[in-house]
Each structure stands twice: as structure tokens, then as C-alpha cells.
Structure 1
Amino acid sequence: MSHQTGIKANEELRKFFAKSKEGKTRVIKVAIKEEQLVLDNHKNVKHNWEKDFDACISQLIEENQPCYLLYRLDNKNSSGYEWLFISWSPDTASIRQKMLYASTKATLKQEFGTSQIKEELHGTTISDITLYGYIKYKKSAAAPAPLSMREEELQEIRRTEVNTDISIDTKHHTLSGVAFPITEPAKQAILDMARGSYDYIQFKIDIEEERIHLVTAENIVLEKLPSKVPSTSGRYHLYKFRHTHEGDYTESIVFIYSMPGYNCPIKERMLYSSCKNPLTDTITSLGLIIEKKLEIDSGSELTEKYLYDELHPTNSLHRPKFEKPKGPPNRGPRRITKHQ
């Protein structure tokens, strides 16, 4: 996994991470200061994790300042106590701070130890990171993703006309393409991206296995996105495009289908084209909302302007007036016809 910002934990924080695994620490607050991940505060265990939750969290967060919180639960796995990773990014924080913390999150998780992080919780308002907000999040994560009106219409059409339901575990032909099953790592990466763990995922088709595999799941800057597109084979990409639109900070999931022209065999081109729509339906069913689908020939097309224009096209309000075409040159004076 790439480290988007290059910001890493300082020595004090690394030592405290090691000490916190002993079990006395309930919550660790981590901040970014002077281009380092630093220990900002911590609280020790007093009661069980439910009773400690609101009392500890409310004392550590600042209304306008993002931070990370690592909250120790009471269950254990093979690596020790399980922890809840909380990413606090309030709406009132600056866009620069939001993006800095979002792009450094994967680094912090790696520094702490991903095997001990059981779940992630992202908060933009204080109610998101209360005990009630955490329980509400767990319930919503366990429930099936709600369908849009268009998705409900399509589901009803499929149910009444022809069986074209898309499954993660089975392969079959549909009216809109061929649905190859996706592997478990690919499915997990989509779920992780929906929870905010990654901003870039790449998939490929294994033609022999007739399955869709995960290539990579990571955090990258937009400038690195073109280099991720192969020049000799097809790929599917998911990218979280962070930008501002009309003064508001926006995060949009873009699905990109890349096929480098005729550098690929015809069978590969046909399979990638046929599997595209069933794959995006599967991604949506896993809770990741795709705001734009794009098709490209090469990575060089993936510029900030291109993505922005595709997501927010400009409508032209001024159409040129129709002009009567001019007559042929040197046709002489107009003839006058007299009526008797």
C-alpha cells in the first residue's frame, strides 16, 4: 500500500502503541503535527467499553479539528485486544485538513497494526461518534444497502420478465452482459472502500478461471492515477475523486473501464466489455455508490479537469442564432418580375 502523504508516526507514538497493547489504555488520540503522526492524548480503562465510550470520546475531540481515535474494545483475537478505528473529520474543518487526514489514514492503520483493528467508524458530526452512533452504524452496515428508485424499477423488471439477478458467487449470462463472480478479496476491498479505507481499487478478469480478481487496493494521489492504467491489458478501476464543486468539498466514486485499443486480444476486449455492467451492479449491491462510469483508452486521459468535467458537465445556455446562408458571389443584380 502506498503512503499518499509520506507522513509517519514519530518515535513517541510508536512506543505508546506498543505499550497500549498491554490492555490498560482505553483510547488513543492521534493528530498530525509538523508533518508527523503524534500522540495527542489518551485515556485509560475505567469500566467496560460501553460505559467508557461517550465519556472518553467526548473529552478528546475538538469541534473543528480532525483527528484519529483508536478505541480499545473488550474482545480479543489472536493478535490481542480488538480496536475500533475512528476517523473524526468534522464538516467545519478546512478542505486541506480533511484531505490530509483522509490520505494519511492508511499509514496510521499500518503503523498501529491492521490485524487488531476490528472496525472503522467515520464521523463528521459529534452524533456520529457517540455510542448510539456507533451502534446505529453497525446496524446499518449489517443491513442490505437501500436501493434507489431506478434500482428498484430494474429489480422489478428482472423479477417479472427474466431471471437476471446478479450474484457474487455464480456466473451466468444476463441481458446486459456476462456476470463473472468476484473473488473474496475483491469483495472485501469494495466493502472497505465503502467504509473509507481506500480511495483506489483495481480489478482484472482471469479469463481461464472466468473470475474477477483484485489487483490492488490503496490510497493514491490523483497525479499517480494515470500510471495505474496498464497499456497492454484491460482493467476496471474504482477511484474516489476528492474535489470542490461550487465551494463545497465533494467525494465522488468513479468507475473507470480501461481498454488500450487493439493492443489486447479480441476475446479479452469482448469479456471486459460484457462484464462491465454486471460488475458495477455488484459493486452497488455491496454499498458503494458509483456516481460516474467512464471508458478510456489510456491513463493519460485521467486528469483532474477530465474527471471534474465528466462529473459536472457545463450546460451551454447560449446557442448561436441561425444565419441564412449567403448566395453565390457575383450573381449580378436581382431580377425584377412584373405581373400583368
Structure 2
Amino acid sequence: MANAASGMAVDDECKLKFHELKAKRTYRFITFKIEGQQVVVDKFGSPEESYDDFTNSLPADECRYAVFDFDFTTDENCQKSKIFFIAWSPDTSRVRMKMVYASSKDRFKRELDGIQVELQATDPSEMSFDIIKSRAL
């Protein structure tokens, strides 16, 4: 694993599920994890699930990548949606895991065409609903 940034494969299912979230709105969120030398789909949430459901699905002591489809209403009363890419790297996760996720993030993010906002979080307060909402507007 000398060159994790370029050697990390992305499972085709990651791109397929992301496209379904973006184009068909099949999911509210998708979480991804690194297994061995590739990024794979971890979990997904149905369109009815909330932001709290999403944050509760993230492990407390392991890194994950995630995409979240955030619906909101602008000050002009327009319904909008933005797709967030969240790099979840809790302080309690192992250092090696954090390094692998950090070095592979940009490569993985490039595979997902349509990310509108990126957020890095090391604890839940860094990705609170208020922060998501302020970054969306």
C-alpha cells in the first residue's frame, strides 16, 4: 500500500448507487468504506430518512466517506437540493485508517460526478444540521 492515493480502486457499485441518488433520488444518503484496496458501498438510506438517521448511521470510531442529498427551501421560497460529500474521520479512529482515508479522498471524490459541497468532520458537531444548512445556502 505504498501509493494508496493512486492504488485505491473504486467499486462500480459506488458510482452506480451515487448516480441513482443524484439522478433518480432513490436514496437520501450513501456511506462508503474502504475494504482492502477498494472503496465499497457501506449503507444507504431511503428518501424518507432524515439527517439524524444519516448521522446516526456513521460509526463512532471508524472513518467513512458519505454523500447526503440535502433538500432545503431558499429565502425566496424555492425548493432546492445539494449533494454533500462528507469525509467522516472521527478522532477515535485509528491513525492508519485516518491516513488511508485522507490519502484516497480526492481520488474517490473525482469518481462521483455531481458533488456540490464538501465537508470534513472529526466529530458530530462539525457536521451539525445547522452547519449543513449554512453551507447549502
TM-score range relative to shorter protein: 0.7 to 0.9
Identity of aligned pairs, percent? 27
The reply to whether residue 46 of structure 1 matches residue 44 of structure 2 is no
Q: 1:53, 1:131 within 8 Å by CA — same for their partners in 2?
A: yes
**1:5 and 1:97, CA in 2 relative to 1: closer, same or farther beyond 3 A?**
farther
Change in 2 beyond 3 A, CA 1:135/1:18: closer
Quick one: which of 129, 132, 136 aligns to 1:131?
Answer: 129
Please list the CA deviations of residues 156-180 of structure 1 after superposition, one character each: whole Å capped at 9, or x if unmatched: xxxxxxxxxxxxxxxxxxxxxxxxx
TM-score (norm 2): 0.79
* Native 8 Å contact 1:28 1:41 kept in 2: yes
Look up the SS of the partner of 2:116 in the other structure.
strand
Residues 1:117 and 2:107 are matched in the alignment: no
Q: CA deviation at 1:17?
A: 2.3
Question: 1:4: how far off?
Answer: 1.9
- TM-score for the superposition, normalised by structure 1: 0.34
In structure 2, distance between residues paired with 1:54 and 1:65: 18
Q: What's the CA shift for 1:102?
A: 0.7
Deviation at 1:135?
Answer: 4.2
| 8 Å CA contact retained: 1:30, 1:68 | yes
Structure 2 residue ranges without an equivalent (≥5): 73-80
Match runs of 1:65-84 below 5 Å? 65-74=62-71, 82-84=82-84
Largest Rg, 1 or 2: 1
CA 54–130 in structure 1, closer or farther in 2 if over 3 Å, else same? farther
Aligned counterparts, 1:131-280, within 5 A? 131-135=129-133, 138=135
Is the Cα–Cα contact under 8 Å of residues 55 and 124 in structure 2 kept in the other structure? Answer: no
User: Could you list the runs of 5+ residues in structure 1 that have no partner in the other structure?
Assistant: 76-80, 143-340
User: In structure 1, what is the equivalent of residue 16 of structure 2?
Assistant: 15
Displacement of 1:6 in angstroms is 1.5
- CA–CA separation in structure 2 for the residues paired with 1:13 and 1:83: 15
1:63 and 2:60 are equivalent in the alignment: yes
Q: State the one-letter code of the partner of 2:18.
A: F
Higher-RCO chain (CA-CA 8 Å, sequence separation at least 6)? 2
Give, in whole Å, the separation in 2 of the partners of 1:15 and 1:24.
Answer: 11
Give the length in aligned residue pairs: 125
Where do 1:86-105 residues align within 5 Å?
86-105=86-105
1:33 to 29, 32, 35: 35
Distance 1:118 1:67, change over 3 A: same
